[in-house]
Structure 1
Amino acid sequence: MAGQPEKWTLDGFLSHFIEIENNMRDRSFAFLLGAGASKPSGIPTGAELVEVWLNELHERHEPDRKARPLEKWATADALEIPKFEYSRRATFYPQVFERRFRDDRDAGYAYLEQIMEGAEPSFGYSVLAQILVKTRHSIVITTNFDDLVADALSMFAHKHPLVCGHESLTGFIRPQMRRPLVAKIHRDLLLEPKNDSAGVSELGEGWKEALRKLLEHYVIIAIGYGGNDGSLMGLLEQIEPKGLAGKILWCYREGSGPDQRVLELLTAKKGIMIPIAGFDELMLLLNEKLGFPLQADEIEKQAKVRATVYRGSFEEIQERVKPKPGAAEAKKEESEAVAKLVEGQSGWWGWELKATSESDPEKREQIYRAGLKEFKDSCELMCNFANFLVSVRKKHDEAEELYRRALELAPDSALVMLNLANLLNYVCKKHDEAEEFYRRALGLQPSDARVMGRLMGNLANLLTNVRKKHDEAEQLYRRALGLGPDEAHIMTNFARFLARVRNNHDEAEELYTRALKLAPYDADIMGSFANFLTMFRKNYDEAEKLYRRALELAPESAVNTANFTSFNLARGKILEAKEMAGRAWPLCAKDRGQAAAEVALYRGIISRIEQRDDTPALGRLKTMLVKGFQRQEWSFDDLLAMATDKLSADDNRLYAALAAAILDVDKVAALEEFPRWKTVEPIALDVPWPDGQ
């Protein structure tokens, strides 16, 4: 299209990179990194920080936040930011920073230090470090304050770069460097970084000349850079095309193109647009093209915690690129790259990667058992196998034995304690022992922020669901999300808590939406969000879409099949509800939890609507209520309202009382007031249902 920059495919870019690497020794690349490259490492983007700071300002300055929610309050006048628009809030990052930390700039720097403290380079940075050391493409220009590039060079390539974190150091920059260069044009985090309007709008003295010299010799590959600052973008706009070593290669996240200013820059400089899935994914493909091996064994020799972070980052990519039901085949290249790397990996982690690559549960179990025969004392492989036995094979007794053996091998492993506590909490219902393990593990202060966050999140679940200690639970949820802002399941649990305990539906919906973006193929998150939309928003069309998608992804989900049965029955879709109830019962009856009681209730109501005998349903429900189960929050209001005109007055009263008893153990005794209930004989849950039921 005329007036638009040229666009290449990702494959075309990769081929171009290798062609330059192999055939044009006089041309080198420089990587221009923005905040998007740091996000996989757990550092919030500028847009995310703007959201946090606006919420804090709203809390400080608006006494009636319910009457004036953030989107109405955050105006140019209220914030004292000229031309501020809430819809474009991310582009006002420096102005919002100035407003939030007005008259206390040190507090702002301390805030930035805190969110970057302990951030570990993601898998993508491990590849970048090898490129910087093993090839001539040894320059990084960045607007970021963090130390991820320098840390990655030290951890993964054992090389220390020249970090130019202040304009006073630009005299040391030369086109030909003996070691990798990290040019931090907005300064280092610890050197009063430029984060305000004036600082990011103009390059510091020395940078213009230094960068001009570099760009005469290095072709820019921009990754994760939005071009929102005036300093670097201003320089790029001023430089004539002949002042650049080659065309600017601008990588942007597929699905959201560069903004207008970037498009105009690329058009003027004959630049190239390249859509990518993300920083890690791009580096994964470059890794495969350049033939770099996985480094887990060597990293483990250096530091166990670093190896754990590296493995976790790669396994997340491995999971992300797996084919998903109903999804377009958009990650074939990444999948093939992962498969090649997995094939060449040895050691206990090699067995782990081979197991997680196998989709057949039987074969996957065989791989784990073979791996444990070779690595009998690998607590990591033992713990991962136990996780598989819990989540897939439902062999809970063997899993518990494996967790306890792993804990004997590594008595100070917070991760093993976390997994064992989760089994005790969610499956075995041994809440006292589970809480003891959660708190013991937290006391170890694990250095892995994700493990720490998951410990807090799961303890919060126990405290709110079992102990009813909601205040402590909320504190833990918020701390957990601070440590792991991309933890979709913690986000989902907190959203459920906010909706059902705090009645904070707006924040809950925001968290659900974020969680689903982070984990778009997670059936549990979809089902939970559908429940929320049904109960609190009455958005039945969107809820139904989510239920159906969730059951496509996980057709054996007991909870989602039970909840979709309730949804259809409440909407008056009797035939579909009956079909779903038939699917749901064998799944729910295995666990003998509240979901089984709910499905028995639904089948009883369906029977009465169809003018059939409901004794088979009531008998099973009586067994459940007599033996007991752990209660959870739920609502039968829509269901009972639907039944009002379809059941007799006596049936309406009985089923309303049964619904109350399912949710509250203290209401079970009141059922004895119903003569028909007193005549019902308990029926074992494994007894086949009569035909037609």
Structure 2
Amino acid sequence: MAAHSKKVNFAKEQLYERDCSGVKPDKFEQWLEKNPLEIDDWDAKNLAKHYPTIFEHCFDGDHDSGYAELERAIEQSKPSLGYAVLAWILSSGQHNMVITTNFDNLVADALSIYGEHYPHVIGHESLASYLKPMSRRSIVAKIHRDLFTSPINTEDGVAKLASQWTGALKNIFKFYTPIFIGYGGNDGSLMDFLKGLDKRDISGRPFWCYYEKGEEPNQDIQGLMEMHNGVLVATPGFDELMLRIGDVLGYDREKQKEKVEARTKKLLNTLDKQVIDMSEHGSSELKEQLTTHVSVEQRDWVDWILYINTLDDINEKEKQYQAALKQLPESYQLINNYAELLRSEQRYPEAKEHYLKALAIEPNHARIWGNYANLLSQMERYLEAEEHYQKALAIEPENTDILGNYAVFLLNQKRPDEAITWCEKSLSIEPGHFHVTTYAEVLRDLGRFEEALLFAKKAAKLFPDNPATQNLSQEIENKISSEQ
């Protein structure tokens, strides 16, 4: 896969800036037709063919400036719709390999934004041994290197494929049928490698896609396809082509949008939660540092909570929550946090009212269901509490707070044999979570005192300012002594 248009645009831009000071923009194409650089076999309609020569001409003796210009051009590029489709294809499992002559990160960026993961990018021939078939993760192999690893951009550089790639690519083609998109076969490196392949070296019939409004593939490409019983395919632009391929494979743009929105929302919620947690448990200096000094009218729900966390007086906190909810009545986050304040004050009926109000606005919010379960447990409505813990975990099964709180609930119900499963799951996700203390208590109640002591001491080191963790170690030590 290569980006023919990007190289053409970059070449045109650099030529115009450096060699056309007296040429008007509307005369530029005519100027190109005259072969201004006196290049053999010049084709003004196929500047990608001459890209390495143009690069050397523009940045002779100063390749670092050329790389800087490339970096600027690449940073301005954003993944288009076609890349969104490609990201979906690469994330779907079977078709997960991209081999490219490009330096940019559009494929990797698209996978990060629109796909399910970030790919394994192999941006230098010294890493070619990591190019392996049947990878669990998508792979992007850059045979002319990555932008940040001295990209191969000169005529001599692109004339021959680095030896490390040869064996790796041969192995890949045994397992994958290649589809060539946007590659004109203008470099000697990849094209010479392809021409040197035996008929048995490519799995299946390769497909060579070329732009239907451009020139037909050159003789080398036609010969290559003939040798391997391949197929030449006249295609529209990249985005439309990818949409057509995606349509055949079952691409659903709306579903992809929903997943992107859900991931983005989750990331932002995680950031907000971390800021709020730091504000709730941090020093007064940290609370002040985190507080955003915007006018009352401009505050969002996070601004309100950060401000309220700086207050010590409960009555003033409640007053500010009421002011916040008057301004943002549909903020389920504010309503939930106000319910937490009411729960801490043992005003259970009011807390319940606000939890249910928050859940009516955002019924799939695991943390609110978990908080409501905590309330029901405190109200000694244990069957309902357990039901709501399980509902919260069905929505967000790896939420370490809810996992730990459910373990505490089970421990308080004298069910340590069940609690241990949820504790271990929580700590496998976040080993330094506060519920390491809960785990020590569970082990204690199971009679596993030596293990309990190890985790109690770990908790004491992790949370030295918490008296309960300090006392737990002493309690377990006394228990061990009495047993002996």
TM-score (norm 2): 0.50
Greater CA radius of gyration, 1 or 2?
Answer: 2
TM-score (norm 1): 0.36
